[in-house]
Amino acid sequence: MSTTEAAPGKVTIVGAGPGAADLLTFRAARAIAEADVVVWAASLVHEDVLGHAAPDAEVLDSATLSLEDVLAVYARAQRDGLRVARVHSGDPALWGGTQEQVDRCHELGIEVEIIPGVSAFSAVAALAQRELTIPEVAQSVILTRLGGGKTPMPPGEEVREFARHGTTMALFLSAARSGQLAAELAEGGYPPDTPVIIAYQATWPEELLLRCTLGTLAETVREHKLWKHTLFLVGPALAASGTRSHLYHPGHFHGYRRAEPAARRALRAARRSGEHGPAHGPGRGAGDHPSPGPGGGEDPGPGGPEGSGEAGGGRG
């Protein structure tokens, strides 16, 4: 494309997913296909993803470039009216060095768009066939990393502090210090039999999925010599069974579905007696089903959050 056509340059920050070239959104694949320049993170994005690029696209490995080098590419794109696809692993909102690029693009005055991607934590959960939020066991997911690496952790964000919640945690960028990881998780209160899923290069041909417990986490990592490109899922939800979602219970009603009267009576009776299935998380009382509060109530009305099937304890 030439400057005389006055086409504006554009930078698209593309979430390329965990590795597999078919785990991108259509929008991401299109942005790569339409790019004049593809800047990709070769160490984290599988090269098959480049199969979406045009044969004549200029391809640059971001591992060999500083931020300044990348900004020079963006400045050239602005000058020459080029489309740049900056390809990041997973979702660009997580540990992508994305914000500094977006801010500089704004300073440069070049249009910038971000296309979300499938983060490694969702890919690993899918691979392990586990839901990370199980009714009455875990309703939150903490995405974090171990401190002590190149990037210092802000105060209060230590793994041991987050572990005190006892809910599901996804730990990125932490395999090189698996002993410290296990120790901090234990200090936070997870018992040694807490289920752990370890995934190495999920969705790559060399993918490895391991199940262990907190007590065997460090030795499992050592045994398989994992130190990078590894994600940990930790928490009682990873082995929980026997609970069921409130949202899809026949006794539950909302804007889109009536309750079955007998099931409704049974559900109310169970709720009154606290018999609503086991609770597994550390520091939680058994059977303490959350009472329906605002937004989690029984009849939020059409379009309400529970009616949309996305919130509450249910499968979305």
Ligand X SMILES: C[S@@+](CC[C@H](N)C(=O)[O-])C[C@H]1O[C@@H](n2cnc3c(N)ncnc32)[C@H](O)[C@@H]1O
Give the binding site for ligand X (CB under 6 A). 18-19, 44, 88-91, 94-96, 119-120, 172-173, 199, 201-204, 228-231
DSSP designation for 254: B
Distance of closest approach, residue 59 Cβ to ligand X, in angstroms:
20
H-helix segments, 81-216:
98-108, 120-127, 159-163, 178-187
Distance of closest approach, residue 173 Cβ to ligand X, in angstroms:
4
Q: Within a 10 A sphere around the Cβ of 253, how many other Cβ atoms?
A: 16
Locate the DSSP E strands across the chain: 10-15, 37-40, 58-61, 83-88, 111-115, 141-145, 168-172, 195-200, 208-213, 230-234
Q: Indicate the residue among 171 and 279 with the shorter CB distance to ligand X.
A: 171
Q: Indicate the residue among 93 and 108 with the shorter CB distance to ligand X.
A: 93
Distance of closest approach, residue 36 Cβ to ligand X, in angstroms:
24
Radius of gyration of the chain (CA): 23
Helix (H, G, I), strand (E, B) or coil at 246: coil
Q: Indicate the residue among 85 and 247 with the shorter CB distance to ligand X.
A: 85
Distance of closest approach, residue 69 Cβ to ligand X, in angstroms:
18
Helix (H, G, I), strand (E, B) or coil at 117: coil
Distance of closest approach, residue 185 Cβ to ligand X, in angstroms:
15
Query: What span, in angstroms and rounded, lies between the C-alpha atoms of 34 and 23?
Result: 18
Q: Indicate the residue among 179 and 301 with the shorter CB distance to ligand X.
A: 179
Residue nearest ligand X by beta-carbon distance: 90
Q: Indicate the residue among 53 and 170 with the shorter CB distance to ligand X.
A: 170
